[in-house]
Amino acid sequence: MVCAGLLERGYDVAGLDLAPEPGGFTGTWFTADCADPDAVDAVLRRLEKSGPLDAVVHLASIPDEAPLPVILESHVHTTAALLDAMVDHGVSRIVYASSNHAVGRTPRTGLLSVDVSPRPDTFYGVGKVAAEALLRLYVDRHSLDAVALRIGSFLPRPETRRHLATWLSHDDAVRMVEAALNATDPGFAVLYGISANTRAWWDLEPGRRLGYDPRDDAEVFAPKVEATPETEADRVEAAHVGGPFVTERYYRPGMRRD
């Protein structure tokens, strides 16, 4: 969705993924592992032959819970490989797909700011916290610009009561990434990746200061979502920022012993 949206807006986009090139993609595509620093370096070397590179948009990861070593490779090793290549090739900006699960164990009370302390709800959340810390380090060491997008519920439409607060539409996701690419001197910045939801749990103002102007609102789907009675699962999901990720079905050992 993001690649296609940026192409439609006139950006030159190169994709890098373990998966082969998707049908209909009109940019340049590389099938490689972005956790492999040599592979990432080779891709940037090829791309810079056509001119300087402006930014990296890092969306690659396992988007769910997994064993801790797998999470660290998926979220932290990939980020490190990309950051090292950026420094080596003079790329000054990265836009990173972080997650609300970096603060998912935070009890839900008032509107949540980006200044709240990290409080991950899963190893997935731990990976996002660690990747954000790595971004902060490279911003301080190498004067990069890094924008971490703490994405909510990225879906075609809201499906649960929680989603009425945490939904991020496909169109707003592209608007958010574009804003992060063009924000003036953000340094290290964090924003919450949700649409302009009437019931939003998280503060959109940090994103607005970076130029993110969400236009969709989950409220238009509320009648259909609320057509069925509220359940205990709905109440559990409403208790913490991370929703269902705080529940015991996500518990597992960090380092499993045979």
Confidence bin at 93 (pLDDT 50/70/90): very high
Q: How far is CA 93 from CA 36, 58, 80, 171, in A?
A: 20, 11, 14, 22
Torsion of Cα atoms, 74 then 77 then 81 then 84, to 10° = 140
Please tell me the predicted confidence (pLDDT) of residue 23: 87
Asked whether the predicted pLDDT for residue 26 surpasses 50, the reply is: yes
Asked whether the predicted pLDDT for residue 139 surpasses 60, the reply is: yes
Asked whether the predicted pLDDT for residue 24 surpasses 90, the reply is: no
Sequence-ordered list of residues with C-beta below 8 angstroms from that of 73, at least 6 positions apart, any chain: 35
Q: Which of 11, 96, 124, 250 is catalytic?
A: 124
CA 217/CA 34 separation, integer angstroms: 34
Q: What are phi and psi of 118, to 5 degrees?
A: -55, 140
pLDDT > 90 fraction of the chain, expressed in percent and rounded? 96
The pLDDT tens digits for 141-164 are: 999 999 999 999 999 999 999 999
CB burial string 40-74: b at 16+ within 10 A, e below: beebbeebeeeeebebbbbbbbeeebbebeebbbb
Q: What is the CATH number assigned to the segment(s) 2-250?
A: 3.40.50.720
CA 106/CA 239 separation, integer angstroms: 9
Q: CB of 240 within 8 A of CB of 106? A: yes
Please tell me the predicted confidence (pLDDT) of residue 258: 46
152 is written with which tokens?
């909510």
Asked whether the predicted pLDDT for residue 257 surpasses 70, the reply is: no
Mean pLDDT of 25-36: 94
Mean pLDDT of 68-75: 96
Confidence bin at 99 (pLDDT 50/70/90): very high
Using alpha carbons only, what angle is made at residue 194 by residues 3 and 132, rounded to the nearest 5 degrees?
A: 75
Mean pLDDT of 225-236: 96
Confidence bin at 256 (pLDDT 50/70/90): confident
Asked whether the predicted pLDDT for residue 30 surpasses 80, the reply is: yes
Asked whether the predicted pLDDT for residue 228 surpasses 80, the reply is: yes
Mean pLDDT of 162-175: 98
Confidence bin at 11 (pLDDT 50/70/90): very high
Asked whether the predicted pLDDT for residue 113 surpasses 80, the reply is: yes
Closest C-alpha among 250, 222, 116, 99 to residue 162 = 222
Domain boundaries defined on the chain: 2-250
Q: Residue 124 catalytic?
A: yes
Mean pLDDT of 185-197: 98
Number of Cβ within a 10 Å radius of residue 182? 13
